[in-house]
Amino acid sequence: MTIDDLSNGEIEALFSLADEMSDSIAKQSKLCQEKIMASLFFEPSTRTRLSFETAMLRLGGHVISAADIGATSLAKGESIADMARVVGSYADVIVIRHPWEGAARVVADYAGIPVINAGDGSHEHPTQTLCDLYTIKKERQTIRGLKIALWGDLKHGRTIHSLTYALARFGATILFRPSPGLEVPEYVLRKLTTEYGGKLERYEALNQVVKGRLFPLDAIYITPSSPHQLAMMPDISIQTELETGVDALYVTRFQKERHTSREEGQELNKDYPMVDKKLLRGKEFKKALVMHPLPRVDELAYELDADPRSMYFKQAARGVPIRMALIALLLGAKEAAISEKSVSFIQKTDYPVYKRESGVRCPNPTCVSNQETEARYIKPEFKMVSLKPLFLRCIYCEQEFHPQYIASSDWHEGRLESKKYHSAESWLVRKIKPENLIIFDSEDKAQARGFKPSSYVR
Amino acid sequence: MTIDDLSNGEIEALFSLADEMSDSIAKQSKLCQEKIMASLFFEPSTRTRLSFETAMLRLGGHVISAADIGATSLAKGESIADMARVVGSYADVIVIRHPWEGAARVVADYAGIPVINAGDGSHEHPTQTLCDLYTIKKERQTIRGLKIALWGDLKHGRTIHSLTYALARFGATILFRPSPGLEVPEYVLRKLTTEYGGKLERYEALNQVVKGRLFPLDAIYITPSSPHQLAMMPDISIQTELETGVDALYVTRFQKERHTSREEGQELNKDYPMVDKKLLRGKEFKKALVMHPLPRVDELAYELDADPRSMYFKQAARGVPIRMALIALLLGAKEAAISEKSVSFIQKTDYPVYKRESGVRCPNPTCVSNQETEARYIKPEFKMVSLKPLFLRCIYCEQEFHPQYIASSDWHEGRLESKKYHSAESWLVRKIKPENLIIFDSEDKAQARGFKPSSYVR
Amino acid sequence: MTIDDLSNGEIEALFSLADEMSDSIAKQSKLCQEKIMASLFFEPSTRTRLSFETAMLRLGGHVISAADIGATSLAKGESIADMARVVGSYADVIVIRHPWEGAARVVADYAGIPVINAGDGSHEHPTQTLCDLYTIKKERQTIRGLKIALWGDLKHGRTIHSLTYALARFGATILFRPSPGLEVPEYVLRKLTTEYGGKLERYEALNQVVKGRLFPLDAIYITPSSPHQLAMMPDISIQTELETGVDALYVTRFQKERHTSREEGQELNKDYPMVDKKLLRGKEFKKALVMHPLPRVDELAYELDADPRSMYFKQAARGVPIRMALIALLLGAKEAAISEKSVSFIQKTDYPVYKRESGVRCPNPTCVSNQETEARYIKPEFKMVSLKPLFLRCIYCEQEFHPQYIASSDWHEGRLESKKYHSAESWLVRKIKPENLIIFDSEDKAQARGFKPSSYVR
């Protein structure tokens, strides 16, 4: 579902298996015989779908494919869960792409067979990230300690979100250079510091020190795994360090089709960065791998195609062995040997879960939990990633938000008849045990459930 | 083409083979090697198409697939017959879904290879019926003597039409509970009594006797095969018998996409029945299998998914072994042993055929014979299912109608110069031998062919 | 890309291999095991796509298929070249259909694996031509010396263009009978005389001599390979010769979807020829094979389907062995034995190439080189097929045009400071060496590049 479903060790093992796959592709043609992969694409995609299907066929398996389901069962009002259960009874593994964030998780919850997320809205596209990481690893041997610049539409690019997490986990430093108005969402940045433990330098600070020839940065994520790097340096030396150049420049296209109508009016692609020969003459790009998840539009000039730094067609080609390795592992056709030393340096955080029926809904309109067909059976569920200030993360789309009102299910020695709600900003929020917390979107919803405003409602 | 193309014995043999397929699915992977199934879907469908394709792949065969042909050759004005002939020269078996009633029959007439109807308009969907019957058989060992309730849109649900015939043939009692305005078409009900020999009790009569907690019924079909059942009882005991409960409750969704524009204005889904936990607490549903062809919308609550009576995901899953068995039989990869005792209790009726070129056309606007591209080569053809009153059944869509005017090709001792036409209501209709009957839609058409009104034209 | 990419000897060898394929189709099922064919259709097509996919599956290979890509990556602004490179890294052979003329050539330029053109706009559809030729060969043993009539929309029918070249090369006489307004494009006719060396009789002349019962002709191409034929005869005997009848009547449908908006207003299908039983009673069609690439609309009556002269379903069926042979050859699974005696009688002409960046663009709006997504990397390139008058042929769409202005890069003993441009009609054009020629679309473009009008600009 997300790149975080695989540990660093599992990813390294997958890369070894992908090496094996590409070294002797003809020898793999019996691995998944008699297995069927269902390829369910609710969004048009040729590249990703054909890459998965090629991978399965190279493993000797079969494919059933639905290339643009938007118009079919959905039109009849069918839910994703129902489709998942039915296709789960036909196939052995499902690959799903869907325009709603969290849709792949729902499929995984109901299918009863392994499910691979091939992109869910603006949320994640973890196998693209595997191709990206694999390419960096093949070209530079390691990811730890590298400086990777991310360019372009960092807001809607789901490949960017998956990649950001993975780079952080493998110990890279990340330089964010969004096109103005297309910054990385705050919940992605927050996760970098709260879960991967690094340090985030924001633009305002950087503006003072990073001047001149270097590209305008929005933020830098400094990994805790590289003590010899920026993390330990005073601000003034960031520029010096950066001027030694970046190891990779990862460019994405303007994701027009994901922009909201409000965004469409803003001509956000007006100052979109353009990567071309001239730019790459800069010494900070001398050794930089030029990467792109494709398709490209105008942000990456064709004149670079023959440049040895250009990696984007290699990234695409490596999708086949990576996906072969992943499918073979999921179908049990191969075992992955996870080496001791490559264990991830980060620990997955175990946040308390909030799933009371108090009317709280994910505020993301394209989250799967907010769709008419899915709301029939999906119960909203959130991770409480922070109490003061109170932040919930939707378990489906992983977007975070700050609800306004709280109450306790165990207040005043259990006297529930005196039901009161309070501002989430109040000092009371930390007094309530997470398991007793009741959260409301709005005063209306609190009152509809019989709660009355306390004196702590501002 | 229709469920009636298979005898009861053949259906039983198919079920045995399906048992064999699902017991040892891995052993079937060489059965149809080197065979190609063409999957031609002129209507969007994911579930049914993927189910057929899975079945063929599990048999070791190959698939060529056209998932939504609406926009392709049809747009170039091609006929179904031409496509059938061409694809028939590529593949070994064709699976066809089409929005026009009777389209599958045309494909079968021209393809030169076995053809499976995967749904033709509102006409039939026989393999869905096989899955339904197979599920009832697996869960209840027999179909004979069971009471099966059909709910919802009984007008447009092609699965309902195929299932109704099959249940009648296997000796079940059928309880029709349509949503108001969405009753089973009259031609389907008529066929029940004229061809399957049972008794049909209509709502008006039932209204007197079936009261209280039981669901409102529109009609009951009482099978002649169950002497110990309703058939032999006086009306007053129907309620008593029904209150012992139904064996299966078969629900269908509101088939919005098949409604005519006139129907759309009527909000026919206003009082659509809803099947949920509360309803199923009624004692008449205590042992009822809850069935649905899927996709569902709102008529079947998600809260029932874990209920052991819920069969709908099993129905879908059983589509694979059923279709494997069917394909293997059609391709000659398996033989079916038809047991002596399971011979159908009904005889197929051999109605006289009417195919004179007297201008009579099927009145169903979505019948394949009425489409511009197909009318170039299809000659209308009808079964004369009744003479007094005169009823014709289109051999393509199987809808029945009552033409207004008749004549004879052998009247007044062969003096054809005195050509006269008469009202179809006239007593003359039984005097004319069926092979001499000339039938007209309208007086205009009769006169255009040189006939003059007789004194028997009212 | 075009039928001219195969020599006559190669085509004959392909036909032998196709014979072998259809004689023992079951023996071919291991030939292309573990190979993958990508089937990329940017235009809807069921017949051609399924024919290719059937061929690959009959050879034991796998297929990845994108049936209607129009809506997918193209919508994201991706170029054909990028898609070709990516899919080229997945598959072993690509089959491409595209609405832009020349698109298949671009795919071939970038894919790095064998590419088969399954139709590119109005340009060519060479595998259809192979099926057509193969059918004539099977039925008549030879193509040389036959008289083949082409009927209908000769303007937009890409199958017509490929077929015309092939018939000329194999020594057939071609009788053009276009529907008025839908004549064969001039560049196709010119190629017949300039490259295949035959003689073209135009309508104006024919009008005088070919009268009466024979169909109205627009032009006759008389092959140089048939000395006993029309070529050597005085005009007056053309009619006598034609009245002995044609060997094949090749009909095409009205290609509505390729008509420009200006053409749409003209009701060009008003006098479209209709081939039916009545027409075929004419003695000139007594032995004629009736051919059609399908789909048909109204130009070919269904009443002919049972006529032994009707070949169109055979043509379609033969697509499978022909495409099997082609794929097997391209993948190196089979060798073709090219016999000595079947060498083509024509020599491919080696025209000088023009690829200076002087602003000359192909005037065909649907040429691949003129598309926004492709113009980013495609440099226009032309063959100079004639100097006086000056004619350029676009290497992508093969349409020819006559640019208006010229200059020389080596004029007045290399004094380039006196840069002048001249009319392309001027006698100077032959004085300039082809490698020094600079060509302009317009005076504006010449002047924008610093050239001044000479006295030879009319």
Asked if residue A327 lies in contact with residue A336, where contact means CB atoms within 8 angstroms, the answer is no
- Helices (H), strands (E): how many in chain B? 14, 18
User: Which structure tokens are listed for C276?
Assistant: 């039916």
CB neighbour list of residue A236: distance below 8 Å, 6 or more residues apart: A209
A190-213 pLDDT tens trace: 888 888 888 888 766 555 445 544
Cα separation of A239 and A213, whole Å? 10
- DSSP per-residue string spanning B298-326: SSB-GGGTTSTTB-HHHHHHTHHHHHHHH
B259-289 pLDDT tens trace: 776 676 666 667 788 899 999 998 889 999 9
Cα separation of C154 and C236, whole Å? 26
Q: Parallel, antiparallel, or unpaired for β A199-202 and A173-178?
A: unpaired
Query: Mean pLDDT over all residues of chain B?
Result: 87
Asked if residue A3 lies in contact with residue A128, where contact means CB atoms within 8 angstroms, the answer is no
Closest partner CB to C67 (pick from B36, B66, B90): B66
| Chain C interface residues (partner A, CB cutoff 8 A) | 33-34, 36, 38, 40, 62, 64-69, 71-73, 75-78, 81-83, 85-87, 89-91, 376-377
Asked if the model's pLDDT at residue C142 lies above 60, the reply is yes
Q: Parallel, antiparallel, or unpaired for β A93-98 and A115-120?
A: parallel
User: Which structure tokens are listed for C389?
Assistant: 């008058």
ipTM for the predicted complex: 0.91
Among A2, A220, A298, A15, residue whose Cα is nearest residue A132: A15
Lowest mean pLDDT segment, chosen from C69-83, C104-118, C221-235, C291-305? C221-235
Closest partner CB to C72 (pick from A44, A51, A256): A44
Phi first, then psi, for residue A334 (nearest 5°) are -140, 150
Does the beta-carbon distance from A68 to C71 stay under 8 Å?
yes
What SS3 string covers chain A? CCHHHCCHHHHHHHHHHHHHHHHCHHHHCCCCCCCEEEEEECCCCCHHHHHHHHHHHHCCCEEEEECCHHHCHHHHCCCHHHHHHHHHCCCCEEEEEECCECHHHHHHHHHCCCEEEEEECCCCCHHHHHHHHHHHHHHHCCCCCCEEEEEECCCCCHHHHHHHHHHHHCCCEEEEEECCCCCCCHHHHHHHHHHCCCEEEEHHHHHHHCCCCCCCCCEEEECCCCCCCHHHCCHHHHHHHHCCCCCEEEECCCCHHHCCHHHHCCCCCCCCCCECHHHHCCHHHCCCEEECCCCCCCCECHHHCCCCCECHHHHHHHHHHHHHHHHHHHCCCCCCCCCHHHCCCCCCCCCCEECCCCCCCCCCCCEHHHCCCCCCCCCCCEEEEECCCCEEEECCCCCEECCCEEEECCCCCCCHHHCEEEECCCHHHHCCCHHHEEEECCHHHHHHCCCEECCCCC
Residue C209: pLDDT band (50, 70, 90) is: very low
Residue A383: pLDDT band (50, 70, 90) is: very high
Q: C44: distance to nearest CA of chain A, Å?
A: 14
Which residue's entry shows tokens 């490596």? A318
Cα separation of B198 and B143, whole Å? 16
Residue B256: pLDDT band (50, 70, 90) is: confident
Closest partner CB to C90 (pick from A50, A65, A253): A50
Cα separation of A343 and A8, whole Å? 6
Q: B45: distance to nearest CA of chain A, Å?
A: 6
* Contacts A29 to C, Cβ<8 Å: 33-34
Mutation target among C36, C86, C371, C376 for the A interface, most CBs of A within 10 A: C86
Cα separation of B190 and C355, whole Å? 76
- H-run or E-run covering B392: strand B390-394
Chains that touch C (3 or more CB pairs under 8 A): A, B
Closest partner CB to B83 (pick from C46, C49, C256): C46
Closest partner CB to C71 (pick from A29, A44, A50): A44
Q: B327: distance to nearest CA of chain A, Å?
A: 16
Does the beta-carbon distance from A76 to B297 stay under 8 Å?
yes
The pLDDT, as a whole number, for residue B213 is: 46
Closest partner CB to C302 (pick from B72, B87, B376): B376
Does the beta-carbon distance from C72 to A46 stay under 8 Å?
yes
Does the beta-carbon distance from C73 to A317 stay under 8 Å?
no
Does the beta-carbon distance from B295 to A66 stay under 8 Å?
no
B25-49 pLDDT tens trace: 889 999 999 999 999 999 878 899 9
* Contacts C158 to B, Cβ<8 Å: none
Closest partner CB to A302 (pick from C72, C86, C377): C377
A320-362 pLDDT tens trace: 999 999 999 999 999 887 766 555 555 567 899 999 989 999 9
Asked if the model's pLDDT at residue C232 lies above 50, the reply is no
Does the beta-carbon distance from A54 to C77 stay under 8 Å?
no
**Higher per-residue pLDDT: B206 or A177:** A177
Nearest-Cα residue of chain B relative to residue C258: B76
Does the beta-carbon distance from A26 to C34 stay under 8 Å?
yes
- DSSP per-residue string spanning C244-279: T--SEEEE----GGG--HHHHTT-TTTT---B-HHH
User: What pTM was estimated for this model as a whole?
Assistant: 0.93
Lowest mean pLDDT segment, chosen from B202-206, B408-412, C422-426? B202-206
**Higher per-residue pLDDT: C107 or B344:** C107
Closest partner CB to A86 (pick from B47, B68, B297): B47
CB neighbour list of residue A154: distance below 8 Å, 6 or more residues apart: A160, A176, A178, A179, A182, A183, A184, A218, A252
The pLDDT, as a whole number, for residue C427 is: 83
A325-335 pLDDT tens trace: 999 999 999 98
The pLDDT, as a whole number, for residue B231 is: 44
Cα separation of A18 and A62, whole Å? 20
Cα separation of A129 and A118, whole Å? 11
The pLDDT, as a whole number, for residue A226 is: 55
| Chain A interface residues (partner B, CB cutoff 8 A) | 33-34, 36, 38, 40, 62, 64-69, 71-73, 75-78, 81-83, 85-87, 89-91, 376-377
Closest partner CB to C78 (pick from A295, A305, A317): A295
Which parts of B208-247 are beta strand (E)? 219-222
Could you give the C-alpha distances from B417 to B86, B356, B408, B412, B426, in angstroms and in order?
46, 19, 12, 10, 21
Asked if the model's pLDDT at residue C147 lies above 90, the reply is yes
* Alpha carbon C242 to chain centroid, angstroms: 26
Cross-strand pairs, C221: C174, C200
Closest partner CB to C29 (pick from B34, B78, B86): B34
Q: A450: distance to nearest CA of chain B, Å?
A: 26
Query: Mean pLDDT over all residues of chain A?
Result: 87
Q: A115: distance to nearest CA of chain B, Å?
A: 17
Identify the top-confidence range among A73-82, C21-30, C223-232.
C21-30
Residue A261: pLDDT band (50, 70, 90) is: low
Asked if the model's pLDDT at residue C104 lies above 90, the reply is yes
Mutation target among A30, A33, A90 for the B interface, most CBs of B within 10 A: A90
**Higher per-residue pLDDT: C302 or A429:** C302
Q: In which region does residue B409 sit, left (phi positive, over 0), alpha (psi from -120 to 50) or beta (all else)? A: alpha
Residue A227: pLDDT band (50, 70, 90) is: very low
Closest partner CB to B50 (pick from A77, A81, A90): A90
Asked if residue B430 lies in contact with residue B420, where contact means CB atoms within 8 angstroms, the answer is no
Helical spans, DSSP H, in C59-125: 80-88, 103-111
The pLDDT, as a whole number, for residue A347 is: 59
| Chain B interface residues (partner C, CB cutoff 8 A) | 33-34, 36, 38, 40, 62, 64-69, 71-73, 75-78, 81-83, 85-87, 89-91, 376-377
Asked if the model's pLDDT at residue B234 lies above 50, the reply is no
The pLDDT, as a whole number, for residue B237 is: 55
**Rounded to the nearest 5 degrees, what angle is found at the Cα of A25, between the Cα atoms of A23 and A30?**
135
A146-167 pLDDT tens trace: 999 999 999 887 889 999 999 9
Q: Which residues of C274-299 are buried (b: 16+ CB within 10 A; e: fewer)?
A: ebeeebbeeebbeebbbbbbbbbbeb
The pLDDT, as a whole number, for residue A78 is: 85
Asked if the model's pLDDT at residue C343 lies above 60, the reply is no
C163-178 pLDDT tens trace: 999 999 999 999 998 8
Cα separation of C142 and B253, whole Å? 61
Cα separation of B191 and B453, whole Å? 33
Nearest-Cα residue of chain C relative to residue A319: C90
C275-333 pLDDT tens trace: 999 999 988 899 999 999 999 988 999 999 999 999 999 999 999 999 999 999 999 99
Asked if residue C192 lies in contact with residue C154, where contact means CB atoms within 8 angstroms, the answer is no
* Alpha carbon B9 to chain centroid, angstroms: 19
The pLDDT, as a whole number, for residue C97 is: 95
Could you give the C-alpha distances from A397 to A104, A188, A293, A400, in angstroms and in order?
10, 12, 21, 9
Lowest mean pLDDT segment, chosen from A360-369, B151-160, C121-130? B151-160
Residue B218: pLDDT band (50, 70, 90) is: confident
The pLDDT, as a whole number, for residue A396 is: 97
Does the beta-carbon distance from C320 to B89 stay under 8 Å?
yes
Identify the top-confidence range among B223-232, C123-132, C228-237.
C123-132
From the number of C-beta atoms within 10 Å of its C-beta (0-12, 13-18, 19+), residue B119 rates as buried
Nearest-Cα residue of chain C relative to residue A324: C90
Q: B87: distance to nearest CA of chain C, Å?
A: 7
The pLDDT, as a whole number, for residue C118 is: 97
Lowest mean pLDDT segment, chosen from A96-110, B101-115, B395-409, C63-77? C63-77
CB neighbour list of residue B372: distance below 8 Å, 6 or more residues apart: none
Nearest-Cα residue of chain B relative to residue A87: B47
**Dihedral angle sign, alpha carbons of residues A421, A424, A427, A429:** positive
The pLDDT, as a whole number, for residue B314 is: 97
Q: Which residues of A101-135 are buried (b: 16+ CB within 10 A; e: fewer)?
A: bbbbbbbbbbbebbbbbbbbbbbbbbbbbbbbbbb
* Contacts B298 to A, Cβ<8 Å: 77, 376
Does the beta-carbon distance from B65 to A69 stay under 8 Å?
no
Q: C253: distance to nearest CA of chain B, Å?
A: 9
Nearest-Cα residue of chain A relative to residue B62: A62
Lowest mean pLDDT segment, chosen from B197-211, C30-44, C441-455? B197-211
* Contacts B65 to C, Cβ<8 Å: 65
A407-424 pLDDT tens trace: 988 765 555 556 889 999
Q: B320: distance to nearest CA of chain A, Å?
A: 7
B142-189 pLDDT tens trace: 999 899 999 999 988 788 999 999 999 999 999 998 888 888 998 899
* Percentage above 70 pLDDT, chain A: 85
A10-48 pLDDT tens trace: 999 999 999 999 999 889 999 999 999 999 999 878 899
The pLDDT, as a whole number, for residue C43 is: 85
The pLDDT, as a whole number, for residue C415 is: 54
Does the beta-carbon distance from C83 to A46 stay under 8 Å?
yes
